[in-house]
Amino acid sequence: MAAPASAPADSRSRPAVRDVVFVDGVRTPFGKAGSKGIYAETRADDLVVKVIRELLRRHPELPPERIDEVAIAATTQTGDQGLTIGRSAALLAGLPKSVPGFAIDRMCAGAMTAVTTVSSGIAFGAYDVAIAGGVEHMGNHPMGEGVDPNPRFVSDKIVDPSALVMGSTAENLHDRFPALTKERTDAYAALSQQRYDEALKAGKITPDLVPVSTRSSENGWGLATTDEPPRPGTTVEALSGLKTPFRPHGRVTPGNAAGLNDGATGCLLADASTAAELGLPVGMRLVGYAFAGVEPEVMGVGPVPATEKALERAGLSIDDIGLFEINEAFAVQVLAFLEHFGIADDDPRVNPWGGAIACGHPLASSGVRLMTQLSRHFAEHPEVRYGITTMCIGFGMGGTVIWENPNYNAGGEQ
């Protein structure tokens, strides 16, 4: 007799959870948002197309028809960042029409959420191979464009009004943690610029960048090959004199925060057995991830509970983590994380090649930049077994992903 429809499925039909691997990641050079930026007359969806095509060019062993999903994040999903950009960019990139795609939004953690979402599908068996990434053209679509916050957020005192201005939330973080002084944030920002410049000169940054042809009605055709935002030679003394736009006599400046930027990122993710079948390289293995909410007016502290949650679920401690890629929306937000976990401001395990304060933070794209760099660090550091990518998220959230190094040498010292 057939089982009733409400009976639980036979456990033998449930797929086993599969290992998910990060195959490779690339990004466009990041530009300055605005009429004088390198991408002022370049479409956001074309930036995504460049990323997808570069992933396929670098991996001819991957038949395009084997890609099961394309998930692309954008915070402002309108105009050239609308039209279900995961699907539209896949078509524009020349992927087979059988390859589906979708758009996703979790503000700054958009690309991170694209990765965790399709990774869950891979682990469950819904996909074998997927592309995940993000784009933000903040020149075409300024932060908050078209947003209509419900007045009850303020009238019902659900959030403090400052929660709607990210720079103000960073000032609030300074208020909450007085030990995180402006002098410390300026010193951290100068270090980020220095580390990025050293990494660039050592040839660490450029291999992950896909050149983008650009057009300007004023200057004609060009080619973007390097990040536009970095300010090499930045000193603490120079940063100390910058204005504080979010509060008179405040502590957050354009020098100790990421700027307004344009750019796109993308990565290939796969089931471990499928990667082996196709001969795809493995840059990292996914261990676990977590997202957590915090008070929106101090959103920068979000990575702390997200990391604690991810570590607990993975059965790890902060002492097990040998490399950290922390998004630098604001220096104070990074320092709040380091202070909580007892990590020095200048710890060499943290953002070894600098971070968003130097190279830029095109909102929804940044999560995959962190992951791509962590995979490169893993290749250089077989003594490190685990690393994390973590970031704060607008309106009071944090996200953390824990990764394992496939090159880990148990005989080495971390």
Q: How many CB atoms lie within 10 A of CB 86?
A: 26
The predicted pLDDT at position 1 comes to 39
The predicted pLDDT at position 7 comes to 47
Helix axes 44-58 and 85-92, enclosed angle (nearest 10): 60
First and final CA of the chain: distance in angstroms? 59
The predicted pLDDT at position 414 comes to 45
Evaluate the CA torsion angle 102, 105, 111, 115 in order and state its sign.
negative
pTM of the model: 0.94
Dist CA 356 CA 363 (whole Å): 10
C-alpha 12: how far from chain center = 37
* Residue type, position 300, single letter: G
Dist CA 185 CA 213 (whole Å): 36
* Residue type, position 379, single letter: A
pLDDT means over runs of 10, the chain (414 residues)? 47 78 98 95 98 98 98 96 97 98 98 98 98 98 90 93 94 97 98 98 98 89 96 97 96 98 98 98 98 97 98 98 98 98 98 98 98 98 98 97 93 53
- List, in order, residues 6 or more apart from 333 with CB less than 8 Å away: 170, 173, 300, 301, 303, 392
Overall residue count recorded for the chain in this entry: 414
- Which are the catalytic amino acids? 108, 361, 392
Query: β-strands 284-293, 261-271: how paired?
Result: unpaired
Q: What is the largest CA-CA distance in the chain?
A: 81
Dist CA 392 CA 390 (whole Å): 7
- Token pair for 180: 């995180």
Find out if CATH 3.40.228.10 is the number for domain 20-139+153-403: no
DSSP one-letter string for 156-218: TTSS-GGGG-HHHHHHHHHHH-TTS-HHHHHHHHHHHHHHHHHHHHTTSSGGGBPPEEEEETT
Across the strands, what pairs with 53?
none
